[in-house]
Structure 1
Amino acid sequence: MSDVIKEILIGELTTAVPEEVAQFAESIAGRLDRQPLGILFYGSVLRDVDPEGIIDFYVITDRPESLGSHALARMANRLLPPNVYYMEHKTEGETILRAKVAFLSLRQFLRRSTLFTLDTTIWARFCQPVRMVWVRDGVSADCLLQAISQCVITASCWAALLGPEQGEAAQYWHNLFAHTYAAELRVEKKGRSHNLLAGKEERYRNLLKAAWRRAALSYRSEGGMLYPQLTASARSKALRNWRKVHAFGKPLNIARLIKAAFTFRDGVAYLLWKIQRHTGKAIRVSTFEKKHPLLTLPLFLWRTRHVRSRKM
């Protein structure tokens, strides 16, 4: 692993988080029959501390796991990972923290962190800053570090393949995130990637160049401009492959939404909060829609798409 990638990621993974967040993660680990390898904290609440926000946790396990021992849930996490649950934690000061908790095995994580996966869910998120808020032991920490570094390398390679022939590092990342948002069923404000990079431009620039070197992707650097050395045929092949990723992304996320209806308590309320948080637009749903999310899913998806199209 490139020393630059390793140094940046270790620094981020080991950065302290609020004590109540660490306690929340420890309580999740304590609920499981088998200790996970680790628990990762990422997402909007990590970037912008918000006590009213929903914390994003990923619980990384040795094998496909679920919360509780229900056989159907375990099977669902093998066939269509991850299983996602809504959880709450009351702090000593009586503050209630809320979290979206996803369960994924290390093998599942690794399979979705390579350049050959059609699923952008993992590498597009974990090329961003993340904290290791609970870890089983040093060996597990090393495994997670390696897995996250692979996400950075995959994201950086796609950034070069999909990006301009020349440009500043930030241009490659903005273009990449625009592609991943479009490939997933995600509602984001236009220019959302600028929020991701704000104040962290050097981090993303250093990781991009280090990952290109790690992947043996040649490039020139002049001033603030980068020139990845890619052939026209390589770019053409990458675009064909990305069309497959794009075609696969939305059906995959719809399937996950349907599955989440069985595991994510009050999932519709969470989705409405998420859409309003990211777009500033509220979607109103009836009591019937809240009680029957599967039956009314097509209408909900149409409304989501409509909100997104107005923001583009």
Structure 2
Amino acid sequence: MNTDSVDATDDALLKLIRAEQLDPPERVHAVMAAIRDRHPDRVLGFVYYGSSLRDLDDAEKMLDFYVLVDSYRATHGWGWRALTNRLIPPAVYYLEQERDGVLSTCKYSIITLREFERRCAHAFLSQLWGRFSQPCALLGTSDPSIADRIATARAAAVRKLASETAPLFDAPATSPEFWGRAFYESYRTELRPESDDGRAREIVARYQDRYDSVSATLFDRHGTDQFAVQTYPGHGSAWRWFLRRLIGRPVAALRVINSAATFDGGLDYVLRKVERHSGVKLEVTEAQRRHPVLWSPVLGWKLWRRGAFG
């Protein structure tokens, strides 16, 4: 692929990603304002993703944001929270807000813009480049240069996922087949309820027009509805995905347990999440509830021994 065609592909992919915008309900704007109040003068933008993105008017759906900031220390101050956010990003927070009789719940993850860019393009684990290859919307960014950096990072995430997945194919595939396999492999590296590639393909099917457009941008066509994905340049392999599963689930569990310190009842919340995804139930002491970060290595070890991470 020559330089001109690469540049054209990049431009077309960025155009698709920049077009993924929406005007969310007022309750979403109110939650964003509350998050800004929690972290004054630090928020550079919100990346809105998850199931509530598909069901904007369903107030029972928890809102999911990645909140991009300029500095961990400036956001959290000196102390363990800034340190753990840097070592095991992102830091996860929970927020509830009642407005006009409607209760909105929100889980938001804090990461610096620089770290977001790096992990979307170069991280070994697929946590960010797997997630942000999917539809999401950029909100609350007034600086065009910041918006461009976020869009460019998301385009890098799409290319990264494609390059890691393409070597798993030795023949052309449809968009649902390719991206369904890609997300299935990514989900298996985290604490996710999706247990087969059929479920991942269903998720892709909700936005098939979008994935058809992305595929047409990245891959050569093969017939009417297939793409020559096996010719896309990549360095992925089944072995690399196996290593991600081996490493990713314990890391995800530590991240989840670490997040338990950020809201009341947090440890019980995350252990219910682990139980729902793995079937493993763990009883904890009051001391562990009060100091979840201190006890996270012990809790993580117990969950691993009981098979919570696959």
**1:24 shift after superposition:** 0.9
Q: Does 1:140 align with 2:146?
A: yes
Q: TM-score, normalised by structure 2?
A: 0.81
Deviates more, 1:155-164 or 1:170-179: 155-164
1:248 alignment counterpart: 247
2:130 alignment counterpart: 124
Alignment of structure 1 residues 1-312 onto 2, 5 Å: 2-12=10-20, 14-49=21-56, 50-64=58-72, 68-91=76-99, 93-114=100-121, 116-190=122-196, 191-212=198-219, 219-230=220-231, 238-271=237-270, 274=273, 288=285, 291=289, 294=295, 297=300, 305=308
Q: 1:88 to 1:70 in 2, by over 3 A?
A: farther
Aligned partners of 1:297 and 1:52: how far apart in 2?
30
**1:104 shift after superposition:** 0.5
Q: 1:11 to 1:235 in 2, by over 3 A?
A: closer
Q: 1:286 to 1:81 in 2, by over 3 A?
A: closer
What does the per-residue CA deviation read over 1:116-152, in whole Å, with 9 as the maximum and x for residues that have no partner? 4212111111111111221142221111111111112
Aligned partners of 1:45 and 1:273: how far apart in 2?
20
Deviates more, 1:254-263 or 1:97-106: 254-263
Query: Which protein, 1 or 2, shows the higher relative CO under an 8 Å CA cutoff with sep ≥ 6?
Result: 1
Aligned partners of 1:150 and 1:264: how far apart in 2?
33
Aligned partners of 1:163 and 1:268: how far apart in 2?
40
**1:282 shift after superposition:** 8.1
Q: 1:16 to 1:283 in 2, by over 3 A?
A: farther
Q: Which runs of 5+ in 2 are unaligned?
A: 1-8
Q: Name the SS for the 2:237 alignment partner.
A: helix
Q: 1:58 to 1:85 in 2, by over 3 A?
A: same
Q: 1:80 to 1:237 in 2, by over 3 A?
A: closer
Q: 1:84 to 1:184 in 2, by over 3 A?
A: same
Aligned partners of 1:248 and 1:165: how far apart in 2?
29
Q: TM-score, normalised by structure 1?
A: 0.80
**1:56 shift after superposition:** 0.8
**1:67 shift after superposition:** 5.5
**1:275 shift after superposition:** 6.4
Q: Name the SS for the 1:135 alignment partner.
A: coil
1:122 aligned partner, one-letter code? L
Q: Which runs of 5+ in 1 are unaligned?
A: 213-218
